[in-house]
Structure formats: C-alpha cells, structure tokens
Structure 1
Amino acid sequence: MKMRRLLIECNDEKGSFRRYRAVKAHGGNATVTLVPDALASRLPGAVRVLQAAALVVIPVIFAGCAAAAPPLDLTPARTDLVPKGDAVAGAIVERVVDGDTIHVRINGDDVTVRMIGIDTPETVKPGSPVECFGPESSDFAKEALTGQSVTLELDVSQGDEDRYGRLLAYVWREAPDGSLTLFNLDAVAGGYARERQYGSVPYAWKAELAQAGLAAEAAGAGLWGAC
C-alpha cells in the first residue's frame, strides 16, 4: 500500500479536537505511524479521517488517541522581570476563556481580563471556527493559570478596558523559584500566542514581547511550526 498523508483528529469526551499527522502507512492491517500535528492534551475518543491524498478511507486502529500527550512545558521565559506599572496582587484565576482571556476574582468580584500585547488563535468566538493551535493555546493558559493567585499589572498607555468592557492587564504568575514571571511573555515565547499591539500607542512590554515573538517564529515554536 502506498503512503498516504492523512490529517486525523481525535474527538475527546468534551467534544474537543486535537490533530495528528499520519506520515506513513503500511500494508496489511494498515498500521499508521502518527506524529502530533500540534502539541495536544489528553486524546481519548474516536478517530476521524478528515483528508487523504486519495479518496480512500484507511481503517485505523489509533491507540495513540487514548494515550497522554507530552506534558506542557510551563518553564518561564524569564524570571528577572518585575511589573513596571500599578499592579493588583491576589487575583484568583477562576476560569480560562481562551489563550488570552481569563476570569479572575478580586475582592469577591468576577472580572474578565484581556491580556495586553498578545493574540491567540480563536476557540470560542461566536460564528468563527476553531483556529489552528487554538486548543493548545487555551490548554497552556489553563494549565498555567487556573486556580492560581496572580498579579495583574495595568498599563495607563492602553486604558483600563477594551471595547468589550474587559480589564486590560498583564498577568504575572509565580515561578517555581518563587519569583514572578510574565505570562503574556511566556505565551509568546512558547509559540502559544502572537505578539500584537492594538491601536497606535505601544504598550509597556512591547519590546520584550516582540523580541520573544521573533525568536519563537524563527524556532518554529508552537503555532509557528504547526500552522
């Protein structure tokens, strides 16, 4: 049997899809060797063949769908930085919406936070499809931030809120050594987010995030290698 390049997705129990790329296939029982198309989390569930070089569906027994993917690397990009502007400590991350938006609780109030300087692929935008590497970006934010006490740094150059009423902030989390690390920077450095400036006024951490973004793109990290 000839090699066919297949794009295979695994549908987990929550309806979330993760993509794998079939790089070769063998005859007989059509054993398929798969390589992750992008970093994924747990992948139980059914396998669906989405695309094939020929209009032939190959029966696949995909044991990898039930296996755990490699753990996310939460190593901070830098731990030598401190907030430049006013900051609010002790905000508890209650829910991650996607890779660049979270819900935190501050003094009993639920506050939606849109992170400054980053843009991640869409996963929950109404009327929009799930974009390449969007689930991975969301998983990274969930793993790093959910339930954590974080410090929110404000930036007077960007204003308090975006047009949707979300608080604009940089999110600082605690690194393993007890120091603070800027999650916005970690996401860009790992290829989970693109650096992005909204509007004409540069934000406070633009130089650091832009540099990290260029390095991630050059290395093919995260979405740069997958999309």
Structure 2
Amino acid sequence: MPAVPRRSRLIGIPLTAALIGVAAIAACTGGSDGGSGHDGVTVNAIPSGAFMATVNYVHDGDTLYLDNGTAEVKVRLIGIDTPELSSAQRPDAEECYGIEARELLRDFLPEGTAVWALHDREPEDRYGRSLLYVYLQDGTFINLAMVELGAAEALKVGPNDRYWSELRNAEDEASSARLGMWAAC
C-alpha cells in the first residue's frame, strides 16, 4: 500500500468514535438476510463451508489470531488492506488511520468472540498466514465491513477473488462518502 501522509491522530478520533458506534449498533441489530445492516454495514448469511473459530487477538486492522479448535492460527483477512502500524522492526512505518483500523477490528472482534471463517482458492500467503474471510455469528462480513466503514482498502491478491466486486464497490462508496481514512488522511 502506498504511504499515506500522516495527520494528527486527533482528526480521526471523533470519526473513529462514530464508526465504532455504527459497528456496535450493526453487530447488535443485524440479521443474516444478506441485506444492508444498520448505517451501511452489510449483513450476509454465513457461507456454506465456513468453520467456527474463536478470536484470540487482533494484531492490526487486517491481521488477527484465531483458535480453530486444534491450534492458534495467524490470519490475514482476504481482500482488504489497512494502513500500517509502527513496530520495533519498523518504527517509522505508521500510516494515517492504522491505529483506528486496528481499534475498529478489535471492536468487531474482541478476544473470545466466536466467528465463522472461510478460505478462498489460496489458503495461505507466502508468510504462512491463513487467508480468510471472517463472519460474526449474526452474519456480519468483517472483511466487507472494514471497507464499508473506510478503515480498509479493497485489495485483490492472486486467485482469492470470491468477493472482489463487493469489496471494490464498498471501497468506491466509502471513498465517495469520505468515511474513515478517506476523510482523515
């Protein structure tokens, strides 16, 4: 992802609070009818072939750890890319809206949350991370919700394109509406 100019974190705090509220309301009120949840967060039916897992930890806006019942699995969410965070190895890597994206994903997926996960054509990336689509019990499609709320860009890598058109359309809509990073960065 190209570097995004940094801006004051204070710009994104009110917007982040609003997005977290929208996400919380959507998670509490959404059904699994394949329609649009509250305030633009799409709720889908959990697809056949998905497996249950439990959230252990959210690392950043597109990477988390799940317990699949036999092992802890490092997961990269398919089809999205969120701004980078700084780390001990890359202290200058932090991009605008990286912290907000991580916090939004943590609000969607607190530790201990039961989720459904689904592979696409390519089950792992070159770093050994499981590539997954993740759903809440109510059908909220997390990958798509992150894009709809402006916390992630749509990203197509390799053959994993099952939901590419939905993700790309959601990015266009979030950008046009200036949601999340599209307003803050």
**TM-score, structure 2 as length reference:** 0.79
**Which residue identity is paired with 2:132?**
A
Determine the structure 2 residue equivalent to 1:58.
none
Q: What stretches of structure 1 move > 6 A for 4+ residues in a row?
A: none
Tell me the secondary structure at the aligned position of residue 180 of structure 1. coil
For the 8 Å contact 1:40–1:136, the answer to whether it is kept is no
Distance verdict in 2 for CA 1:105–1:124, change over 3 Å: farther
Distance verdict in 2 for CA 1:131–1:40, change over 3 Å: farther
Shift of 1:8: 8.9
Shift of 1:129: 2.1
Shift of 1:205: 0.4
- Map Cα deviations across residues 104-146 of structure 1 (whole Å, 9 max, x no partner): 1111411001000000001145324211000000000011102
- Map Cα deviations across residues 25-52 of structure 1 (whole Å, 9 max, x no partner): xxxxxxxxxxxx113699xxxxxxxxxx
CA distance in 2, matches of 1:41, 1:220: 11
- Choose between structure 1 and 2: higher strand proportion: 1
Structure 1 unmatched ranges of 5 or more? 1-6, 10-18, 21-36, 43-68
CA distance in 2, matches of 1:162, 1:71: 30
Match of 2:66 among 104, 117, 121: 104
For the 8 Å contact 2:7–2:96, the answer to whether it is kept is no
Determine the structure 1 residue equivalent to 2:83.
121
**TM-score, structure 1 as length reference:** 0.65
Structure 2 unmatched ranges of 5 or more? 1-5, 27-36
Tell me the secondary structure at the aligned position of residue 170 of structure 1. strand
- Map Cα deviations across residues 199-222 of structure 1 (whole Å, 9 max, x no partner): 3x3510011111111000000000
CA distance in 2, matches of 1:131, 1:192: 12
Determine the structure 2 residue equivalent to 1:184.
143
**Structure exhibiting the larger radius of gyration computed from Cα positions:** 1
CA distance in 2, matches of 1:41, 1:123: 19
For the 8 Å contact 1:41–1:139, the answer to whether it is kept is no
- Choose between structure 1 and 2: higher helix proportion: 2
Q: In the alignment, is residue 169 of structure 1 matched against residue 132 of structure 2?
A: yes
Match of 1:87 among 50, 59, 66: 50
**Which residue identity is paired with 1:86?**
G
Determine the structure 2 residue equivalent to 1:39.
13
CA distance in 2, matches of 1:195, 1:8: 22
Work out the number of aligned pairs and report it.
161
Q: Which has the higher contact order (CA 8 A, sep 6+)?
A: 2
- 5 Å-filtered alignment, 1:60-79, equals 72=20, 73-74=22-23, 75=26, 76=37, 77-79=41-43
